Amino acid sequence: MKRMILFIIFYLATWLCWAQNIEVYFSPNGGCQRAVIAQIRKAAQTIDIAMYYLSSRDIAQALVKARQNNVRIRIVLDQGQEVESASKSGYLVGHGFDVRYHLGFGLMHNKFAIIDGKSLITGSFNWTLTAEERNEENLLIIDDTRTIAKYEKRFDYLWNTSRRDSRDVRGVDAFPAWFCSTYHLFCGK
């Protein structure tokens, strides 16, 4: 009996060491946007973002503040975001961010961010006000290192196969966005 209890204690202790923390949020109005901003504010070194749609002013402003605090931020968006009027891509480019656009023929429909290689934000939640206030969305914040490593590898692939923004830092078109998107060129800087 004593051995059985020791075995159970050992098993539970081992399991708890491997158990990872996962935070779960839902929208509408379930705190998804607040959770994203809180993670951005915690960043000390890096933020890598692969996002289909980024139009949240509050999230964009949190990213600008993080960059001002010397956090290195890389962003890959769907190529439609370069010309979408509600997108914050132009705002971020204007603040000196290196924003890139997916070159594939399908949508770059990923929705994830990696904070300092220690925290993963993922789920169906687009970084938009509509996703926060109206849509049925989900958001997970995961700290599992093996899972994060897989997402880091995918982000590096997306980053290396995407093109730069066609605007320079003054917002002047180096090449028209339609030209870059149509011919899948590395336009811009």
111 catalytic residue (yes or no):
yes
Active-site residue identified among 58, 116, 144, 168: 116
Catalytic (active site) residue 189: no
Out of 48, 78, 102, 111, which one is annotated catalytic? 111
Greatest distance between any 2 Cα atoms in the chain: 76
Give the 3-state DSSP-derived string for the chain, with helices as H, strands as E and coil as C.
CHHHHHHHHHHHHHHHHHCCCEEEEEECCCCHHHHHHHHHHHCCCEEEEEECCECCHHHHHHHHHHHHCCCEEEEEECHHHHCCCCCCHHHHHHCCCEEEEECCCCCCCCEEEEECCCEEEECCCCECHHHHHCCCEEEEEECCHHHHHHHHHHHHHHHHCEEECCECCCCCECCCHHHHHHHCCCCCC
Rounded Cα distance between 31 and 164, Å, is: 32
Instruction: Respond yes or no: is residue 65 known to be catalytic.
Output: no
Out of 109, 150, 156, 189, the active site residue is 109
Mention every residue, 6+ apart, whose C-beta is less than 8 A from residue 11: none
Residues forming the active site: 109, 111, 116
